[in-house]
Amino acid sequence: MKKTLLVPLAGAVLLASCGQAGNGNAGPVYLDVDRPLEERVEDALSRMTLEEKVRVLHAQSKFSSAGVPRLGIPELWCTDGPHGIRPEVLWDEWDQAGWTNDSCVAFPALTCLAATWNEDMSALYGKSIGEEARYREKDVLLGPGVNIYRTPLNGRNFEYMGEDPYLASKMVVPYVQQVQENGVAVCVKHFALNNQEAKRHEYDAVVDDRTLHEIYLPAFKAAVQEGGAWSVMGAYNLYRGQHLCHNEYMLNGVLKQDWGFDGAVISDWGGTHDTAESISNGLDLEFGTWTNGLRGETSNTYNSYYLADPYLARLRSGEASMEVLDDKVRRVLRLIFRTAMNTRKPFGSLCSPEHYDAARRIAGEGIVLLKNDGGVLPLDLSSTRRIAVIGENAIKMMTVGGGSSSLKVQHECTPLEGIRAAAGDKAEIVYERGYVGDISGDYNGVVTGQDLSESRSESQLTADAVALAASSDAVIFVGGLNKSAHQDCEDSDRLGLELPYDQDKVISALAKVNPNLVVVIISGNAVAMPWADEVNGIVEAWFGGSEAGNALADVLFGKVNPSGKLPFTFPAKLEDNGAHALGAYDPDAVRVEYKEGIYVGYRWADKMQVKPLFAFGHGLSYTDFSYGGAKCSKSVVRSSADVQVSVDVTNIGQVAGKEVVQLYIGDDESSVERPVRELKGFRKVALEPGETRTVNFTVTPDMLKFYDPASGCWVLEKGSFTVYIGSSSTDIRTTARFEVR
Ligand code: BGC
């Protein structure tokens, strides 16, 4: 069957055909979806005037660029990203457009996705959010984010995938692929070295080359080379003294030349600062520089963008080259052909039952059981008659706020609602606030509609919560951070590792009156837990999205056996983190030296032998797993050969569960200092009680290499390597060795 597409062309309407190869259609090559992409790009390029070429390189509204109307090349529409599809804003303002059909399903924050350690969950996430983007007619989804978790104070860590380059690389690829299956481009952000919000437009990240390549670039590289990302967003901050939205080394050197990226580099909104640098240093599409383009003003309009009239003037005067211009236009055309002009993309869907189901599954699988002394969890509804739920985060909607990832959801299930629904009439669920945190519920005009005002004093709130806890069989405290400034929020960093609003005091007071206390932390960051020894149960539940409450209840009552693992280290105190230990994080500094180098997260904890509060990769289950001995296929290998490593894992408990078997490698003899061990493999295996499975890993030569800054190459040295297999980065159950000759 041939499909017919109506394309406006030069004021007329052209009948273009698409659908079958060799259909004899005499229309322009660029409209023929059966022709190779590059032929179509060249054809379109050859038909564009100079003005049209420049016009596709910058915004025409907050989230769109103009396309080429004369040729029937449509506008390109972007949307945030990365946890759901942002509601429509006005053409020229951040305020709401006031649509009634733009609410979405909020998927869990990317920290939660990373905590699933399950690539299938990432694929499900990408498929689902991609379908929502497609249904809303978006061409570019501004996400996912893969900036490495360098400090627990970074306000945007919740939008990223943790501290480890291998984990983030594995988790980002299926997300990218599945979004793009919908004819929607991802825009991987924020490239690169955007590891704090303090001074985000001004700070220059000073990083040595080895650290850059071993820690901060791999996830971006995987998204581009393995995922095939169609666009990448430059970061706000600087590197080597140049803003990352027009950074010669990073964009032209690393991304386009070294990695062969053929897509478009999109600026972060307001991240462009200079015409000459934007032209020559790899920026292709400029967004968000100014906001008042429609008001008939003569300056600060979209035409005044760095890649608009100022660029045109340089082209006309011969100051700027046509080759560079054409390269940018080709990249933008590729992006448009892959998305907006992709006539074969599926239709997508919005707020479908499947999407809610996906959100709930991912959230449930990402929840991490940090501590479970005395088997306080799961709560048994046949013996627990009265359950006290305490804490503001039990009732607060978390999908509104936090910056550009803020959403307008069709529905959000809070923890209290989820717990109530799960308990039904089997237990009495009673609620107390305990403390007051952030009562606002408004972001760019999206309002939660919740009235969180409170008239009681702090001491009264604590007293009321303690009284309720004392008269209940079990207590679930739901606290943590929220999406307001200086918490898990864009544009500011946290001010400390501690929980805000004196929650520590409330938790300690509750612990004194009820031993069956479970503390649930809602956050995208590690928090200090001075009360950790006082409570029996601790759960990290992240920002769970639309199904947050149901997913939490699934875990608390044992419908879902927790299998999430931490994607970053929880240090006992801030100084146990490398950047902070070395005084290499200063929110006021404009020169941020990454003095800890490659020793980020667990790499620092292992090197300094500091015991984390909870280690990278840690997460308990309602069952237990035993590990057999690790076996390597060879004890001596050639430097070009793979090694097969296997281990038997058995569920030795009473219930079915999933274990994330983690493989780390340490280089025993190296000419350079290397981390004690680094994650190089993981598998999530589902096991019935008593079941044993053999888990296999392939260790490739690439996994053994380090980056040598002098040669700019990855180097494999001969000698002995140790394979560590375990349940977390510190809970190593078995080791094996092999030697590379
Ligand atoms: C953020 C980006 C976001 C963009 C558009 C910026 O402030 O840094 O992550 O995609 O705004 O909303």
Residue 13's pLDDT band, with cuts at 50, 70 and 90, is: very low
E-strand spans in 295-432? 368-372, 386-390, 428-432
- Closest residue CA from atom 6 of ligand 1: 269
The dihedrals phi and psi of 177, each to the nearest 5 degrees, come to -60, -45
| 555-568 pLDDT, tens digit each | 999 999 999 999 99
Instruction: Report CA 160 to chain centroid distance, whole Å.
Output: 3
Residue 296 has pLDDT above 90, yes or no: no
- Closest residue CA from atom 11 of ligand 1: 269
- Closest residue CA from atom 3 of ligand 1: 404
Residue 47 has pLDDT above 90, yes or no: yes
What is the average per-residue pLDDT within 624-649? Answer: 96
What is the average per-residue pLDDT within 219-242? Answer: 98
Query: Coil, strand or helix: which one is 329?
Result: helix
**How many angstroms is it from 269 CA to the middle of ligand 1?**
6
Among 65, 190, 404, 443, name the best residue to mutate to test ligand 1's pocket (greatest count of ligand atoms within 8 A of Cβ). Answer: 404
- Closest residue CA from atom 12 of ligand 1: 404
Under 8 Å between Cβ of 137 and 390: no
**How many angstroms is it from 494 CA to the middle of ligand 1?**
19
The dihedrals phi and psi of 387, each to the nearest 5 degrees, come to -120, 125
Residue 11 has pLDDT above 70, yes or no: no
Residue whose entry in the numeric block shows the structure tokens 């430097």: 639
Which DSSP category does 505 fall into?
Answer: H
**How many angstroms is it from 703 CA to the middle of ligand 1?**
34
Q: For ligand 1, is residue 214 a contact (CB within 6 Å)? A: no
Rg for the chain, CA atoms, rounded: 26
At residue 603's C-alpha, the angle toward residues 531 and 673, to 5°, is 150
What is the average per-residue pLDDT within 223-236? Answer: 98
Helices and strands, number each (H, E), in the chain: 17, 31
Q: Which two tokens stand for residue 580?
A: 């902070």
Q: For ligand 1, is residue 81 a contact (CB within 6 Å)? A: yes
Under 8 Å between Cβ of 232 and 261: yes
Distance CA 252, CA 229 (A): 16
Among 684, 672, 678, which residue's Cα sits nearest to residue 732? Answer: 678
The dihedrals phi and psi of 161, each to the nearest 5 degrees, come to -115, 30
Q: For ligand 1, is residue 268 a contact (CB within 6 Å)? A: yes
Tell me the CA end-to-end span of the chain in Å, nearest whole number. 59
**How many angstroms is it from 141 CA to the middle of ligand 1?**
11
Under 8 Å between Cβ of 675 and 606: yes
| Averaged pLDDT of the chain | 95
What is the average per-residue pLDDT within 418-432? Answer: 98
Contacts 24+ apart (CB under 8 A), 653-656: 653/621, 653/622, 653/623, 653/624, 653/625, 653/689, 654/623, 654/689, 655/558, 655/561, 655/622, 655/623, 655/689, 656/561, 656/623, 656/686, 656/687, 656/688, 656/689
* The one-letter amino acid at 174: P
**Size of the chain, expressed as the number of residues it contains:** 741
What is the average per-residue pLDDT within 527-532? Answer: 98
For the question of whether the overall pTM of this predicted structure is more than 0.75, the answer is yes
What is the average per-residue pLDDT within 35-53? Answer: 98
Residue 478 has pLDDT above 70, yes or no: yes
> Which positions ≥6 away from 417 have C-beta within 8 Å?
549
Q: How far is CA 240 from CA 212, 249, 275, 437, 676, in A?
A: 12, 9, 18, 40, 30
Q: How many CB atoms lie within 10 A of CB 315?
A: 18
Distance CA 481, CA 494 (A): 10
Q: Which two tokens stand for residue 656?
A: 């079915």
Q: Which two tokens stand for residue 116?
A: 């699933």
The dihedrals phi and psi of 149, each to the nearest 5 degrees, come to -75, 95
Q: For ligand 1, is residue 488 a contact (CB within 6 Å)? A: no
Torsion, Cα of 251, 254, 260, 266 (10° steps): -20
pLDDT for residue 25: 53
Residue 292 has pLDDT above 80, yes or no: no
Among 415, 414, 423, which residue's Cα sits nearest to residue 387? Answer: 423
pLDDT for residue 375: 96
* The one-letter amino acid at 549: G
**How many angstroms is it from 444 CA to the middle of ligand 1?**
13
**How many angstroms is it from 288 CA to the middle of ligand 1?**
9
Task: Please state, for a pLDDT cut of 90, what percent of the chain lies above it.
Answer: 94
pLDDT for residue 46: 98
pLDDT for residue 26: 62
Residue 93's pLDDT band, with cuts at 50, 70 and 90, is: confident
* The one-letter amino acid at 274: D
Residue 604 has pLDDT above 60, yes or no: yes
CB-count burial class (<10 Å; 0-12, 13-18, 19+) for 170? buried
Query: Coil, strand or helix: which one is 651?
Result: strand
Q: For ligand 1, is residue 269 a contact (CB within 6 Å)? A: yes
Angle between the 353-366 and 119-135 helix axes, to the nearest 10 degrees?
150
| 193-208 pLDDT, tens digit each | 999 999 999 999 999 9
164, 268, 438, 667: the catalytic one is: 268
Under 8 Å between Cβ of 480 and 393: yes
Under 8 Å between Cβ of 541 and 548: yes
| 142-196 pLDDT, tens digit each | 999 999 999 999 999 999 999 999 999 999 999 999 999 999 999 999 999 999 9
Is 164 catalytic? The answer is: no
